[in-house]
Amino acid sequence: MTADSLLLVLVFFPLAGSLLALGAGYQPRLCRWVSLILSLMQMALISLLFFLDLQPHSGPTGTWLLAVDYPWLEGIGARFSLGLDGLSLLLLWLTAFLTVISVLISWTAINLKVGLFHFFLLFLEGCLMGLFMATDLLLFYLFWEIQLIPMFFLLGIWGHARRIYAAVKFVLFTFGGSLFMLIALLVLYVLHGHQTGEYTFSLYQLSQTPLSPTVEGWLYAAFLLAFAVKIPLVPLHTWLPDAHTEAPTAGSVDLAGLLLKTGFYAFFRFAFPLFPGAAQASIPLLLALGLVGMFYAAWIALAQTDIKRLVAYSSIGHMGLMVLALGIWNLMALSGSLLQLFNHGISTSALFVMVGMLDERLGSRNFQDMGGLWQQMPVFSAFFLFFALSSMGLPGLNNFVGEILILLGAFQIRPLIAVLAFVGVLLTVIYILRMVQDSLFGESRRVQPLRDVTPREVLILAVMALPVLYIGLHPGPVLRLFESSLQVMWGQFPMLARSLGG
Amino acid sequence: MDLILTFMLLFPLIGAMFNALVGWRLPRRLGEGVACAAVLGALVMAVAGFVLLGQGTLQVTLLDWLAVGDFSVSFSLLYNPLAALMALMVTFVSNIIHLYSVGFMREDEDWARYFCYLNLFVFAMLVITLADNLLFFYLGWEGVGFCSYALIGFWYSDPANAAAGRKAFVVTRIGDVAFGIALALLVYLFHSLSLSDLHHHATMLSPGLAALLSLLLLWAAMGKSAQLPLTVWLPDAMAGPTPVSALIHAATMVTAGVYLLIRMFPIVSQSPLALMIIAGVGAVTTIYGAAAALGQRDIKRVLAYSTISQVGYMVLAVGAADIIGGMFHLLSHAFFKSLLFLTAGYVIQALAGEHDIFKMGNLRRLLPHIYWPFLIGALALSAFPMIGGFFSKDRILLATFISPGVSYKVFWVLATVAAFITPLYTFRLFCLVFQDRPDGSTPEEIKPVPNFMAYILWPLALLALLDGMLNLPFGPGKRWLGVYLSSMPGSRVDLGAPLAYELGMGVGSALIIVAVIILTCYLYRPPGPAWRAPGWQALLFEAFYLDKLYQYLLVGPYRRLAVFWWQGADEGGIDRGLKGAAAGVEVLSRGLGHGTSGRLSTYVKMLLVGLTLLLTALALKFFL
């Protein structure tokens, strides 16, 4: 058994663990501990990979740090192949980390069908593990669609008042988008088969399919649509605020921290290498969508009355900047953008976690019911300010590093776009400060006292603050990981490097 | 030396972390003691560094920060005479203000948060002072911005205070947009953000690019240093505790913009056009601030507008290519303005929070401890002959006058008129507060204030009185400051003005200033001026309605549009459109009508069941 087969463990351990959690569901306490231990083990396992000193090596599915490739549906040429590179590794770690957080924050908040809840959490973790490593398109599509199931139920069962509406909207949007991707995928599969006689879903092989520009454009558009819904890009974003507003805290954490990342990840991992020509042609579109997203979402966020909706809109804005970096496509901007994936996963999740804590105490997420929280909950407020500052990109904290790399990188190629993006970042400051002011400062409007954070909550927040500081002050190792991933990617997909530069 | 610089930065940072993490659970004296000791440690390091450095230049790399490809940024320092002087000033003033704060905040329960932010501020300000890499500089720049935000809104339970902090942060961030763009442009041009690299390559810049860069830096400096048109945040920033106003909004942070321009002078000086624009901004701001100070009723707002005006002189000095004059005025302003703020804080506490100068008076009798320090500060601000502020302001006016071109003559006129308004508003303030007036404060209104808070001001007062000796135009120790800073590229120890100009201007302005002071004291003699000019007073009080204009033109529409985008475009337009499409599909499927319930949620559930089955089948297939 080689280190490569660890990848299988990474996918199937949480899936098997989810059944265990379901089984332990008859006793909520036991179930919580089981889920916590399982998710911690998974996180430890992934952390181990950072220390293995993995080197990229090439195999039948391309060049990866670790890869497995097994026959799966032999009749149609689909294989169970997974590959790990620096980007996947970091996203896997993020997934495992946020799953631990999700279990911890649901400790007292979830009392209904506890077993089922943790089953879905761990099941979702397993799906995402597979999704972030799949190098076979059919396998990827499978994970892509299946992640909807746990998310749908997390929203639909444990959500707030309008949960069914939000859950259905979420599934319809994403499923509607990905149907186009399925069609495009099948077309690509058939075309490749026709031309080479070899029917395969392998990303590596499909990326070498010669396509006429028209066909490539249409296929790319279908992928774009699927991923744009998930990221989400304006104007396909309206499911997101609703989903967040209705989701339980753990659902929001997974949604913002992980599910949105799958859209961007897929864009980067599949759409660009498969259709480099079309991707190049789409650059003005990506830049425009990214900028519009930044401005539009940040502007709207300012007007929100529900704090969770504000954070949801902030997500859309942040993702806009990352998509803009895709359109820039140089080493600096891409490194920043990949780092931002991780940063956004931590900071925005932390804000959702804190909004959840607030909701548990106030029974409301409306700014009208807040104000003066610092007086009653100083520790909570200090953490909230910290994560808010991280989200608005204060230097020394994580988001700054990603943002400044994107902006500096963008300026090297497209100064005008970069100047606009610099202005866009300013809008973030405006709504973040408004959020902080209307919640923490001002006169306290409540008569009954609020209890400050419990030790469990302090633990959660402190643990989430560590990566914020680490990335903010010492991002070097992570950036090197991305750099080698990007170099490998450009070596692996010469057409991509040729059309977009690398 | 590396260790000295490292510790200079680390002491305040450790102090801040101490009070943030554990200080608030410990006895008050301990937390305050650690905060003061941290700053004292920084001062000791600054002195040691100053002594050891001589006139050398030192570049130190502490740690790597980020690196992508062949572009890298590290936490690196550039320690030269300029940085050494600035560090001395920052740590010295911080020390006084920390000690003063122990007294000032004696009744505030939230002292740990206060001292944490204050220590953090000193750290960030020292980063600005010492940083070599501009991204590291930017870290300090945003760090002081954050501390300023947090301290302005320190008494957050009044929403107006918190809003003032927010306004300060946003307006300075508007300036920082240009800073960011300047950084990006520098990376594009030089592939490096290290100041020492940039200094070497500055001469390679084309005039156009140099002008562009300089103007971007100017815009950044306008935000931080509250120059026109970004002045509006500073008067509101007076909502913070007074020691904070003294430290951040008088002595250190507001001058960071000027310091940036001086630090980047090798690039700025490449473009005469940019220099002229910088001078123009400074000159117009001096007179704007001075005029607005004339119309204020709040003691701190008078001083705030005065700061805007005085920082304008420093910017003007940079524009007149006299960085030594700029630095000279920066130092003397730091001493006399923090002195004035601290005395104002004493007055405010003694009068139980009264800010309105028209409700003060008689304080010479009632608060004798504070009378002399305040008078020294007022004289220095007015540039009374032979006192610190006189030499520095005079030098800037001279440098402006001898700069070539008609425009500089215009700037000189503006700045000189402002220089004559300065004693007017200063002694208007002084007379209203301290002179005997029948309707002034009464002994019963006076609250006890620790005398310590007055005594601690004397070091500042002495410096304000004597700091002209740093750069005397004659006599022993002639132009010490200029000689010390002469290693800076582009510095002029001697302006080279004809003696007649120098003497004429010095004597002339001295006479006029003394005359204005006497006139002011006459005008505001008890019982105070009788004339009224409501329109003019309102115009000056509102500082030419600049703030109202921004509210009307920018802030209001921005907010209204936010609501419109949300409710009109997002929910009313996009979401309704998408829902319409969904409803269309539903109607269509109902029309087809085979085995459908017509409910979307049922479809979704069936879809998910189908997916689950598919997954199970595929998984089985894999394992079997």
> Which residues 544-603 of B have a C-beta within 8 angstroms of A?
558-559, 561-563, 565-567, 570-571, 574-575, 578, 582, 600-601
**Average pLDDT along chain B:** 89
Per-range mean pLDDT, top range of A433-437, B440-444, B594-598: A433-437
- Region B613-618 average pLDDT: 67
Q: How confident is the model at residue B621 (pLDDT cuts 50, 70, 90)?
A: low
Quote the percentage of chain B above a pLDDT of 90: 62
Half-sphere exposure (CA, 13 Å, Cβ side) for B66? 30
pLDDT at B619: 60
- Report the distance separating Cα A477 and Cα A253, nearest Å: 26
pLDDT at B597: 47
Peptide bond into B527 cis (omega under 30): yes
Measuring CA to CA, which residue among B218, B249, B71 is closest to residue B152? B249
Please report, in angstroms and rounded to a whole number, the separation of the first and last CA atoms in chain A.
36
User: For the purposes of burial, counting CB atoms within 10 Å of the CB of B491, is it exposed (0-12), middle (13-18) or buried (19 or more)?
Assistant: buried
CA nearest A235 in B: which residue? B574
CA nearest A394 in B: which residue? B142
Judge whether B226 and A450 are in contact, CB under 8 Å: no
Judge whether B173 and A426 are in contact, CB under 8 Å: yes
Q: Which of A332, A437, A476 sits opposite B64 (nearest CB)?
A: A476
Measuring CA to CA, which residue among B276, B126, B280, B306 is closest to residue B211? B276
pLDDT at B605: 65
Quote the percentage of chain B above a pLDDT of 70: 93
- Report the distance separating Cα A280 and Cα A496, nearest Å: 9
CA angle B468, B473, B478 (to 5 degrees): 85
Q: How confident is the model at residue B598 (pLDDT cuts 50, 70, 90)?
A: very low
Distance from CA of A397 to the nearest CA of B (A): 10
Query: Residues A406-430: pLDDT tens digits?
Result: 999 999 999 999 999 999 999 999 9
- Region A360-386 average pLDDT: 90
Residue B526 has pLDDT above 80, yes or no: no
Q: Which of A148, A149, A396 sits opposite B139 (nearest CB)?
A: A396
Residue A381 has pLDDT above 60, yes or no: yes
Q: For chain A, what are the domain ranges? A: 282-502
Q: How confident is the model at residue B586 (pLDDT cuts 50, 70, 90)?
A: low
Q: How far is CA B266 from CA A244, B59, B260, in A?
A: 51, 17, 11
pLDDT at B596: 44
- Report the distance separating Cα B367 and Cα B345, nearest Å: 13
- Report the distance separating Cα B521 and Cα B431, nearest Å: 7
Per-range mean pLDDT, top range of A190-199, A338-347, B459-468: A338-347
Q: What's the ipTM? A: 0.94
- Region A381-399 average pLDDT: 95
Residue B131 has pLDDT above 60, yes or no: yes
Residue B578 has pLDDT above 80, yes or no: no
Asked if A372 and B618 come within 8 Å (Cβ–Cβ), the reply is: no
* Three-state secondary structure call for residue B383: coil
Q: How many CB atoms neighbour CB B14 within 10 A? A: 17
- Region A230-256 average pLDDT: 91
Q: For chain B, what are the domain ranges? A: 1-140, 153-541, 545-593, 599-624
pLDDT at B620: 62
- Region A347-366 average pLDDT: 92
Paired tokens of A367 = 């700014």
Q: How confident is the model at residue A198 (pLDDT cuts 50, 70, 90)?
A: confident
Q: How far is CA B198 from CA B133, B289, B402, in A?
A: 10, 34, 29
Judge whether A393 and A320 are in contact, CB under 8 Å: no
Q: Does B518 touch chain A (CB under 8 A)?
A: no
Quote the percentage of chain A above a pLDDT of 70: 99
DSSP secondary-structure letter at A233?
P
CA nearest B146 in A: which residue? A394
Query: Residues B32-43: pLDDT tens digits?
Result: 999 999 999 999
Measuring CA to CA, which residue among B41, B17, B46 is closest to residue B130? B46
Beta-ladder partners of B110: none
**Average pLDDT along chain A:** 91
Paired tokens of B620 = 């089985």
Chain B CB contacts of A473 under 8 Å are 65
Beta-ladder partners of A69: A81
Chain A CB contacts of B139 under 8 Å are 395-396
Asked if B621 and A426 come within 8 Å (Cβ–Cβ), the reply is: no
Query: Residues A289-324: pLDDT tens digits?
Result: 999 999 999 999 999 999 999 999 999 999 999 999
pLDDT at B599: 56
Q: Which of B66, B615, B621 sits opposite A73 (nearest CB)?
A: B621
Measuring CA to CA, which residue among B221, B231, B222 is closest to residue B262? B221
pLDDT at B85: 94
pLDDT at B422: 95
Residue B583 has pLDDT above 90, yes or no: no
- Report the distance separating Cα A355 and Cα A349, nearest Å: 10
3-state helix, strand, coil in chain B (%, to 5): 75, 5, 20
Chain A CB contacts of B137 under 8 Å are none
- Report the distance separating Cα B290 and Cα B300, nearest Å: 14
Measuring CA to CA, which residue among A304, A293, A242 is closest to residue A430? A304
Q: How confident is the model at residue B543 (pLDDT cuts 50, 70, 90)?
A: confident
Asked if A479 and B67 come within 8 Å (Cβ–Cβ), the reply is: yes
H/E element, A66: strand A66-73
Q: How confident is the model at residue B600 (pLDDT cuts 50, 70, 90)?
A: low
CA angle A314, A319, A321 (to 5 degrees): 105
pLDDT at B332: 93
Disruptive mutation site among B21, B22, B62, B66 for chain A (greatest number of A CBs within 10 Å): B66
Residue B595 has pLDDT above 50, yes or no: no
Q: What letter represents residue A401's amino acid?
A: V
